Amino acid sequence: MSRKLKPKPSLPVAKRQPPKWQRERNLVLFVWIAIPLIIVLAVGLVGYWSYDNYVAAWHQPVAKIQFEDGNKTTLDMDYFVKMFRLYMIGSQQTTIDTTTFPYELLSELEDDELIKKASPELGIQVTEEEITEKIKGYFTDSTPDGGNSTDGGNSTLSEDEIANLYQQWLDRVRLSDSEYRRVVEATILREKLAEYFKGQVPTETEQVHLHAIMVDSMGNATEVRDRLLNGEDFATLAQELSLDEETKPYGGDLGWVPRGILFPEIDDVAFNIEIGNVSEPITTTKGYYVVKVSEKESMTVNDNHRTILTNNKFKDWIQEQRDASVIAEYLDRDKINWAVDRIN
């Protein structure tokens, strides 16, 4: 029987290496392909970072408003920073409380948009000519920031001189003509609204001569009332116990007050209580009051009270516009810090 031979193991064959010139050529090709790809990737990353920080960030919204009629507007970071800078320069302040002011500024900018939208319903509008004349007035009467103009308020300035001063101002606050005209339009609308609501305040109305003591708890208010009912003098107790520093030295005497000046809770009592009677304790957001009315009479509303009543009507109207709209705010601490860093 023949023996079956085992196959011999094959010997490994060394791979043939390409010649040196070919290896060098492949390396050169790799370098020519890899380096451009690395450069493109690096440029892309830098470009994305630059876009995100220097382009997109400026267009991020700080507030969006949807009006009652369905129309919308957006306030972006670019406009917010510009208005922040304008306020800083106009108010001549070098420091500002960034914990509260940015939110107050945003609220003002939102109100401006609501005013522009709703004012025509009251028959109030602003023409381009009015805006132009208002701007001219800044440079013939005073500078836009409220200080004296460089010429001392010279009303004989030529058109070219006014235009030159105006351009200097725009350069200083870094606004375009259209952006600044938008600010002036809002200013004029607010002035016209003030006149409109002032016309709705009566020149004469029922008023009360009011006396009040403010304390910090219902228990203290009850104690004050009990002492008054037991015959103690109102003025003496007010000077002793009242927390209202403005009226305390005068024995709690607020003088003649029309309806709408004080808290509604106080109005409801003051205009219904009998003369000479002491009220039950009144709870308000500021504190607890006990009041007394010494006189009632229909009389002329003084200028100070007219201003307060006008402002109250304006605030009520603005609140109505806010309630009828949908406002989404996106301002947060990171955005505020970002904005503050770019004001200067």
The predicted-structure confidence for 171-180, as pLDDT tens digits, reads as follows 999 999 999 9
Give per-residue pLDDT as tens, 79-106: 999 999 999 898 887 788 888 999 999 9
94 Cβ contact partners less than 8 Å away, ≥ 6 residues apart: 88
Give 243-296 as a DSSP string. Answer: --TTTGGGTTEEEEEETTSS-HHHHHHHTTSPTTPBPPPEE-SS-EEEEEEEEE
Going from N- to C-terminal start, the domains of the chain cover 62-199+317-341, 204-300
Q: Which CATH architecture has domain 204-300?
A: Roll (3.10)
Of 253, 256, 255, give the one whose Cα is nearest residue 205: 256
Of 208, 331, 188, give the one whose Cα is nearest residue 269: 208
pLDDT above 90: residue 48: no
**What pTM did the predictor assign?**
0.75
Give per-residue pLDDT as tens, 2-44: 455 555 555 455 556 666 656 666 666 666 666 666 665 655 5
Residues 89-100 as b/e (b if ≥16 CB within 10 A, e otherwise) read beeeeeebeeee
